[in-house]
Structure 1
Amino acid sequence: MQLQEFSDRTPEVWGQAPLEEWRDRLQSVCGRFTPVGWEQRDFVNGGVSLSNAAGVAVVQVATDVEVVRRNERDIRLDYGEHFFLLVQLEGSCGVEQRGRQNMISPGDCILVDSSLPSNFYFEGRFSNHLSVHLPRQLLLAERPNDFEISRRLAADDPMSTMLRALVAKMLQTSSSHKRSAELRQLFLQATRQAFAVDGPDAPLCPKDRAGGRLEFARLLVDRHLTDERLTPQWLAARLGVSMRTLQEDFNALGTTVTSFIRDRRLHLARDRLVEKQRGATDGTIAEIAYSSGFNDISYFNRCFKKAFDCSPKELSRG
């Protein structure tokens, strides 16, 4: 399948780079991902490039390595705060996350969660895709927010066609354009609709599986992040376990339940403040704090300063 809207991103000849150089470039723009060369090869055919698309980061990843991995340790060292929308341009790529495996081909789209372990399989064959970096908590802040992660949208799916068209349009639009904010919001809403789950909340995971409980706990936090009822006690009751058991599960992440919820809310508030600074949204700092799940503005300011090394006021002023 030829993707004419991305013809300028599919050159006939690609350059070659040392594997370590390619890896460093990938990590500088996408976070902690670990590539493994094909058959001990220490070079890569392809490249990694970053573009600003209407204020959204879009990374082009072209490679012929064996596999690129992201494990729990990578996530702990490099907080996962994005959904990656992959748009396959050339070749094929195997994507594994949440126990699901998909093979994406030119024109296909798939949504990957950077807060969960993932594997990308290339097996030495050339692949070229775009990775659109979407602020995780901002995407989850509006309904629908029950996304089906790692579900392939086929190239001929109307939703896939729409997402590709929006990415192409955004790549032609600078972040300073007067319509860039509206274009970003349209893209976020289109992504929500494209991967929304039609059905009730996911079923509870077995109580004797700590890993399963933890995954479902994170899912509940994401879906109910701004609800007043979201507390460690509510989360434990929803999972049907004691507070002690829930805390032991989160200890595996090197955090507490309270800290995990607070950090997710802080990232949502930060993303909203960035959009406010860009002129895409209105609201005072206090209103953004309250709508992100905080009920004490002084506590919010202290936590924000500690997490991001700047105050909410400094961030909102650019």
Structure 2
Amino acid sequence: MQLQEFSNRTPDVWGQAPLEEWRDRLQSVCGRFNPFGWEKRAVVNGGVSLSNAAGVEVVQVATDVEAVRRDERDIRRDYGEHFFLLVQLQGTCGIEQRGRQNTILPGDCILVDSSLPSNFYFQGRFSNHLSVHLPRQLLLAEKPNDFEISRRLAADDPMSTMLRALVAKMLQTSSGHKRSAELRQLFLQATRQAFAVDVPDTPLCPRDRASGRLELARALVDRHLTDESLTPQWLATRLGVSMRTLQEDFSAIGTTVTYFIRDRRLHLARDRLVEKQRGADDGTIAQIAYSSGFNDISYFNRCFKKAFDCSPKEVVRR
């Protein structure tokens, strides 16, 4: 399938780079994703480039490595606060996440969660795709926010066609353009609709294993992040476990339930403050704090300063 809207991103000839250099570039813009060379090949055909599309980061990843992997250790060392919308331009890419396997072809789209382990398979064949980095909590802040991760949207699916068109338009729009904020919001809403599950609150994983409970707990926190009812006790009740069991599950990844919820809410508030700075959100800092799940402004300011080493006002001023 020829994608005319991305013809300038599918050159006939690609350069080469040492595997380590290609890996360093990938990790600098996408986080801790670890490539493995094909048959001990020390060079990579392709490249990694970062673009600003209406204020959203878009990374082009072209490669012929064997695979790229991200495990729990990588996630703990590199907090995953993004969903990656992948748009395949050339070749094929096999993707495995949450027990689901898909192969995407040119024109296909798929949503990947950077907070979960993932595997990307190339098997030495050339692949070229765009990765649109969507702030996790900003995407989850509005309904529908129950996404079906790692579900392939075929190239001829109308939603896939719409997402590709929006990405192409955003790549032609600077972050300072007067319509960039509206374009970002349109793209977020289109992504929500494209990957929404048919049945809300569908269990995402088994509850009889600690890892399964933890994954479902993360999903429930994301889905109900701004609800006043979201507390550690509410979460334990939804999962059908005791508070002690829930605390032990989170302790295994070096945190507590309370801290996990607060951290997610802080990232949502930061993303909204950035949008305010760009002119896309006209709410006050206090309104943004309240709408992100905080009910004490002084407490919010202290936590924000500690988490991001700057105050909410400094984010807006930047």
Distance 1:315 1:127, change over 3 A: same
Residue 29, structure 1, aligned to residue 32, structure 2: no
* Amino acid across the alignment from 1:167: V
Paired residue type of 1:151: R
Deviation of 1:205 (Å): 4.9
Partner residue in 2 for 1:167: 167
Q: Does 1:74 align with 2:74?
A: yes
- C-alpha distance in structure 1 between counterparts of 2:183 and 2:205, whole Å: 38
Partner of 1:232 in structure 2? 232
Helix, strand or coil: the match of 1:50? strand
How far the C-alpha of 1:206 sits from its partner, in A, is 4.3
What displacement does 1:143 show? 0.5
State the Cα distance separating 1:204 from its structure 2 match: 7.4
- Give the direction of change, closer, same or farther, for the CA distance of 1:213–1:52 in structure 2 (3 Å limit): same
| CA deviation map 1:101-158 (0-9, x unaligned) | 0000000000000000000000000000000000000000000001100000000000
Amino acid at match of 2:307: A
**How far apart are the structure 1 equivalents of 2:250 and 2:159?**
36
How far apart are residue 203 of structure 1 and its match? 2.8
Q: Which residue of 2 aligns with 1:177?
A: 177
| Counterpart-to-counterpart distance in 2, 1:274 and 1:78 | 21
SS in 1 for 2:84: strand
Quick one: distance in 2 between partners of 1:19 and 1:112? 24
Relative distance call for 1:206 and 1:63 in structure 2 (3 A) is closer
CA distance in 1, matches of 2:139, 2:200: 19
Q: What SS does the corresponding residue of 2:198 show, helix, strand or coil?
A: coil
Inter-partner Cα distance in structure 2 for 1:127 and 1:78: 25
Q: Percent identity?
A: 89
SS at match of 2:106: coil
- CA separation of 1:207 and 1:87: change in aligned 2, threshold 3 A: closer
Distance in 1 separating the partners of 2:289 and 2:240: 30
1:85 equivalenced with 2:85 (yes/no): yes
Q: 1:60 to 1:205 in 2, by over 3 A?
A: closer
- Matches for 1:170-209 after TM superposition, within 5 Å: 170-203=170-203, 205-209=205-209
Pair 1:251-2:251 in alignment: yes
Give distance in 1, aligned partners of 2:204 and 2:13: 49
Letter in 2 for 1:275: E
TM-score (norm 1): 0.99
TM-superposed CA distance for 1:252, in Å, is 1.8
Counterpart residue type for residue 225 of structure 1: L
> Could you tell me how far apart the structure 2 residues matched to 1:285 and 1:253 are?
31
Between the aligned partners of 2:63 and 2:12, the Cα distance in structure 1 is: 14
The 5 A counterparts of 1:2-21 are 2-21=2-21
User: Contact conserved, 1:207 with 1:241, CA < 8 A, in 2?
Assistant: no
Aligned to 1:136: 136
**Offset of residue 63 of structure 1:** 0.1
- Tell me, which stretches of 5 or more residues in structure 1 are unaligned? none
The count of aligned residue pairs is: 318
Instruction: Determine whether 1:56 maps to 2:56.
Output: yes
Alpha-carbon distance in 2 for matches of 1:191, 1:52: 18
In 2, Cα distance between equivalents of 1:9 and 1:43: 21
Deviation per CA, 1:139-185: give whole Å up to 9, x if none.
00000001100000000000000000000000000001100000000
Contact 2:89–2:130 (Cα < 8 Å) also in 1 = yes
Q: Which amino acid in the other structure matches residue 47 of structure 1?
A: G
Do the aligned residues in 2 keep the contact of 1:204 with 1:239 (CA within 8 Å)? no
Letter in 2 for 1:194: A
| Alpha-carbon shift at residue 208 of structure 1 (Å) | 2.7
CA distance in 1, matches of 2:5, 2:260: 41
> C-alpha separation between the residues in 2 aligned to 1:282 and 1:289?
13
The residue aligned with 1:65 is 65
| RMSD, aligned α-carbons | 0.8
Residue by residue over 1:261-309, the C-alpha shift from the partner in whole angstroms, topping out at 9 and shown as x without a partner, is 0000000000000000000111111110000000111111011001111
1:115 counterpart letter in structure 2: S
Does the 8 A contact of 2:146 with 2:200 survive in 1?
no
